[in-house]
């Protein structure tokens, strides 16, 4: 191994630390904005934007209680695993026009795998808590996972397939490639409608993936008193809240990368560091807008569904919408 190779590895490690740090801060900050926006929509004052930070620091100094029935090493290990898995996804996501840190080492299929890890972690943690509420929550989380996977994969496959038709020579599942070639520019009018349907699918999968109302059945405050998280306290709960914040960023970034990978630097004839700066800012604005639609707005405008209704909603109507989108894109390509 050469010195250059070592240097690259070192740079990647430093980059990873910076991205993890920024991702966590951004996640908590956006969580604060989400709460503030929800409060404004409900005509409340709402907590200050720094509230998630304060919550996090408060939880960190609180006592960490492990219930008697729990399996301690699983119980304590799961929050760390969840957070790590979530942060890892960040390394595969493009930010503005910066290509992903680990670009070339994994693609969107890996991201889908990684996305299931936090959910599996929570299921394991729930079962390890030894509380009936957490048990019910874990069962529900498993059902949820099985439900939203199909529409999510449909969306990704459709975009990948379309790209592979247009650019057969590229690695179509790489996010850098997807980011460089927005879907909207590649399709005709029929495909445009299809892509729109796929966008709707992803927008509805997002709150499910993040366990937000109306799909927050695994946590369901009024039914299960927090469900999966009912026995977690102190540091472990803080890690879960971090993971949740980062996961919000991840899911929203995924929507941005798949559907809105546009940059604005070239409009102002900027280059170099300015281009990166303005694109990153634009990226943050896109994140905010999409988070508002996918998380905040849906959250304040609906009641919680029951688990059978959730899995029905994902399996039947949403899968149909997703498959319809896929077939429209296919039709569009074949007809051209």
Partner 1 sequence: MSKMSYSVPIGPVHPSLKEPMTFNFEIYGERIEKVNLAPGDNHRGIEFMGRQRNPIQIIYLAERICGICSASHPFAFCQAVENAAGIEVPERAQYIRVIIAELERIHSHILWAGVAAHELGFDSILYLTWRAREEVLDLLEYLTGNRINYGIFMIGGVRRDITKEHIPRIKKTLEYYKDIYAKLEDVFLNDPTIALRTKNVGILTTEDALRLCAVGPTARASGITKDIRQDQPYAAYADLEVKAITPDALTGEVHGDIYDRIIVRLLEVVQSIQIIEQCIENIPSGEIIAEKKLVKLLNQLKKAKGEGIGRHEAPRGECIHYVKLNESELPEVWKARAPTYNNLMTWVPMLIGQQIADIPIVIASIDPCIACMDRVTILNKDNGQKSILAKEDLHKLSVQKTRRITP
Contacts with partner 1 by CB under 8 A lie at: 41-44, 132-133, 135-136, 139, 213-214, 216-217, 220-225, 300-309
Q: Which is nearer to partner 1, 140 or 181 (CB)?
A: 140
105: which DSSP letter? T
Q: What is the DSSP string of 276-291?
A: HHHHHHHHHHHHHHHH
Q: Are the C-beta atoms of 218 and 227 separated by less than 8 Å? A: yes
CB of 219 to partner 1, least distance (A): 10
CB of 162 to partner 1, least distance (A): 33
Helix boundaries (H) for the chain? 3-41, 51-61, 72-91, 108-129, 132-166, 175-180, 183-186, 189-209, 221-224, 234-259, 272-291, 298-300, 307-313, 319-335
Q: Which is nearer to partner 1, 39 or 190 (CB)?
A: 39
Q: Which is nearer to partner 1, 13 or 308 (CB)?
A: 308
Q: Which is nearer to partner 1, 43 or 61 (CB)?
A: 43
Q: Which is nearer to partner 1, 122 or 187 (CB)?
A: 122
**Two tokens, residue 78:** 């799961």
> Which residues contact residue 295 at a Cβ distance below 8 angstroms, ignoring those fewer than 6 apart?
34, 206, 207, 210, 212, 248, 252
**Two tokens, residue 268:** 């102002």
In total, the chain counts a number of residues equal to 336
Q: Which is nearer to partner 1, 273 or 303 (CB)?
A: 303
In terms of Cα–Cα distance, which of 181, 184, 157 is closest to 169? Answer: 181
CB of 319 to partner 1, least distance (A): 19
CB of 227 to partner 1, least distance (A): 10
Q: Which is nearer to partner 1, 45 or 335 (CB)?
A: 45
CB of 9 to partner 1, least distance (A): 47
CB of 139 to partner 1, least distance (A): 8
d(CA 29, CA 26): 5
CB of 132 to partner 1, least distance (A): 5
């Amino acid at each position: 191994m050469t010195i250059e190779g070592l240097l690259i590895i070192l740079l990647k490690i430093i980059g990873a630390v910076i991205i993890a740090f920024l991702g966590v801060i951004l996640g908590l900050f956006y969580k604060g904005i989400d709460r503030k926006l929800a409060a404004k929509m409900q005509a409340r004052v709402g907590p200050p934007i720094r509230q998630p930070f304060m919550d996090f620091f408060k939880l960190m100094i609180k006592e960490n209680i492990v219930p008697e029935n729990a399996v301690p090493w699983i119980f304590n290990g799961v929050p760390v695993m969840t957070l790590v898995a979530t942060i890892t996804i960040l390394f595969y996501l493009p930010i503005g026009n910066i290509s992903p840190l680990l670009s070339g080492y994994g693609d969107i299929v890996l991201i889908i795998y990684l996305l299931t890890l936090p959910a599996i972690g929570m299921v394991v943690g729930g079962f390890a808590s030894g509380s009936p509420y957490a048990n019910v929550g874990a069962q529900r989380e498993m059902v949820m996972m099985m439900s939203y996977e199909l529409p999510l994969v449909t969306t990704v496959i459709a975009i990948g397939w379309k790209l592979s038709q247009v650019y057969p020579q590229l690695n179509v599942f790489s996010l850098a490639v997807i980011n460089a070639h927005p879907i909207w520019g590649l399709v005709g009018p029929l495909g445009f409608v299809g892509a729109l349907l796929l966008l709707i699918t992803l927008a509805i999968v997002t709150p499910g993936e993040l366990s937000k109302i109306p799909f927050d059945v695994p946590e369901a405050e009024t039914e299960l008193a927090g469900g999966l998280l009912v026995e977690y306290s102190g540091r472990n709960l803080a890690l879960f809240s971090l993971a949740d914040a980062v996961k919000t960023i991840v899911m929203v970034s995924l929507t941005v990368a798949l559907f809105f990978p546009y940059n604005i630097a070239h409009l102002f004839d900027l280059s170099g560091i300015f281009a990166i700066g303005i694109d990153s800012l634009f990226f943050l604005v896109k994140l905010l807008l999409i988070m508002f639609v996918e998380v905040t707005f849906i959250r304040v405008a609906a009641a919680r569904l029951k688990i059978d209704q959730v899995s029905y909603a994902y399996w039947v109507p949403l899968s149909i919408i997703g498959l319809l989108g896929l077939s429209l894109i296919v039709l569009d390509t074949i007809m051209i």
